[in-house]
């Protein structure tokens, strides 16, 4: 890889939601459903910087799981259906609104970390001399 290579500035929503490398936009960053690869197979970007932690699960719980569970509770309170009705309505709704968005959200968070150059917070930078008191 040439050190002088200029990579295009790709916005996170164009790469992350599709699971593409945030630097080149071509390589896939996932190895399986949610496991990140160690590096991009196309440009070699080291993906060890990526740490979305529980971010994808948090967003899914807030924006998908809570409304889906609220639907199941409403169905139970309003109509008191037999158990099998929940199996064919509530369970599929919860599964379909909670599982598919996790991967695009994780990709978007990884791409956002790269795009915004997010890193762990530090009080003193390596290249900055300590301040005298």
Q: What is the DSSP secondary-structure string of 83-125? A: HHHHHHTHHHHHHHHHSTTHHHHHHHHHHHHHHTT-----SS-
Contacts of 29 (CB under 8 A, 6+ apart): 19, 20, 21, 22, 36, 37, 40, 47, 50, 107, 110
Instruction: Output the pLDDT for position 126.
Output: 62
Residue from 118, 117, 113 nearest 29 by CA: 113
Domain boundaries in the chain? 12-115
Q: Which residue has the tokens 């529980």?
A: 54
2 pLDDT more than 80: no
Residue 40 has pLDDT above 70, yes or no: yes
The residues, ordered by sequence, that sit 6+ positions from 92 with a Cβ below 8 Å of its Cβ are none
User: Would you place residue 33 in the very low, low, confident or very high pLDDT band (cuts 50, 70, 90)?
Assistant: very high
Report pLDDT digits (tens) over 62-82. 999 899 999 999 999 999 999
């Amino acid at each position: 890889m040439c050190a002088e290579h200029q990579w295009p500035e790709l916005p996170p929503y164009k790469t992350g939601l599709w699971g593409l490398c945030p630097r080149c936009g071509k390589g896939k960053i996932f190895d399986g459903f949610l496991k990140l690869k160690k590096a991009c197979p196309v440009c070699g970007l080291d993906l060890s910087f990526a740490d979305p932690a529980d971010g994808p699960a948090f967003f899914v719980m807030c924006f998908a799981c809570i409304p889906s569970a609220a639907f199941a509770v409403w169905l139970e309170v309003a109509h008191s259906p037999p158990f099998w009705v929940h199996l064919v309505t509530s369970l599929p709704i919860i599964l379909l609104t909670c599982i598919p968005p996790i991967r695009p959200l994780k990709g978007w968070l990884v791409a956002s970390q790269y795009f915004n150059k997010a890193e762990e917070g530090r009080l003193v930078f390596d290249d900055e001399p300590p301040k005298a008191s």
